[in-house]
Amino acid sequence: MLDEAGFVIQSERMQSDWAAENLQVIRTLMERSALYRRALAPIMLTVGVIGSLAGFAAFYLESRSVPTFIVFWLVTGGVALGTSFLLVRRQSMREGEPFWSPPTRRVALALAPPLVVGFLLAVLVLVSSFAERGWPFEPKALPGLWMILYGCAICSAGFFMARGIRFLGLLFSLCGLLSISLGSLDLDFPTLLVANICMAATFGGLHVAYGVYLYFTEKKKIAA
């Protein structure tokens, strides 16, 4: 009788809905545990704008020495890192989630080694410059090395983030390789000018381009 009244069918549907909802909750929890889920578009756009502005500033200020170039871009990197930190913190506070969550920790740990190596390479060149010794390596290779290391950092962090970001890391590393290859050709360019343009194009341009791409795709993903 209950069967005829559709009771069983109704309860089957309820069970199925419940099962589908449970699967969705499980998926969300697993992603929360494993993947870094903060919106990256605002971070990428902000870092890109900072990189581009720094590129214009370097162009107009006409930094003429290697130490000035290094300090200028290290400060820019520090500002970009600090701003990203604040943006991530604001997002996590808005969503009522802990800032230093396991995925954030994993992303930070994956980013750290290549970024620290890039920083130490810059310090090495700076120290050699102030001690008036020979360069440990050609300083014009530094922007390329920074790009390669930054690309490696993003690729490593990409294992704990949305998959697309690893492509950005690969692009950075390829740009770094290209920059080093062009540097070895001894082209007749004012080297620091080219280096500043390379830095603005990659740390500014690539970030802005990826940020714009994410701005349109991330919203769709959330809506889906």
Partner 1 sequence: MNPETFLQLDRVIHEKGRLGIMSLLAASPDVAFTDLRDALGMTDGNLTTHIRTLQEAGYLSVAKSFQNNRPLTTCSLTAQGKKAFADYINLLEQIVQQNRGNK
Residues near partner 1 (CB under 8 A), total: 20
Cα dihedral value 193, 143, 66, 194, nearest 10 = -10
Task: Enumerate residues 6+ apart whose C-beta is below 8 A from 187.
Answer: 194
Q: Does 6 bind partner 1 (CB under 8 A)?
A: no
Q: Taking a C-beta distance cutoff of 8 angstroms, is the pair 141, 180 a contact?
A: yes
| Chain position carrying tokens 């090395």 | 145
CB atoms within 10 A of CB 197: 15
Interface residue with partner 1, options 6, 7, 10, 16 (CB under 8 A): 16
Closer by beta carbon to partner 1, 12 or else 62: 12
Rg of the chain in Å (alpha carbons): 23
For residue 217, give both structure tokens.
Answer: 């795709």
Q: Does 15 bind partner 1 (CB under 8 A)?
A: yes
Q: Among the candidate windows 12-20, 55-63, 114-122, 198-206, which touches partner 1 by CB under 8 A?
A: 12-20
Q: Among the candidate windows 27-35, 58-66, 84-92, 139-147, which touches partner 1 by CB under 8 A?
A: 27-35
CB atoms within 10 A of CB 153: 23
Q: Does 10 bind partner 1 (CB under 8 A)?
A: no
Closest CA to 116 of 156, 175, 64: 156
Closer by beta carbon to partner 1, 67 or else 103: 103
Q: Give the nearest distance from C-beta 81 to partner 1 in angstroms.
A: 24
What distance in Å separates the CA atoms of residue 179 and residue 175, rounded to the nearest whole number?
6
Interface residue with partner 1, options 102, 113, 136, 190 (CB under 8 A): 102
Interface residue with partner 1, options 30, 86, 109, 112 (CB under 8 A): 30
Q: Give the nearest distance from C-beta 19 to partner 1 in angstroms.
A: 4
What distance in Å separates the CA atoms of residue 122 and residue 205, rounded to the nearest whole number?
22
Q: Does 127 bind partner 1 (CB under 8 A)?
A: no
Q: Does 184 bind partner 1 (CB under 8 A)?
A: no
Query: Where do contacts with partner 1 occur on this chain (CB under 8 A)?
Result: 12-13, 15-16, 19-20, 22-23, 25-26, 29-34, 97-98, 101-102
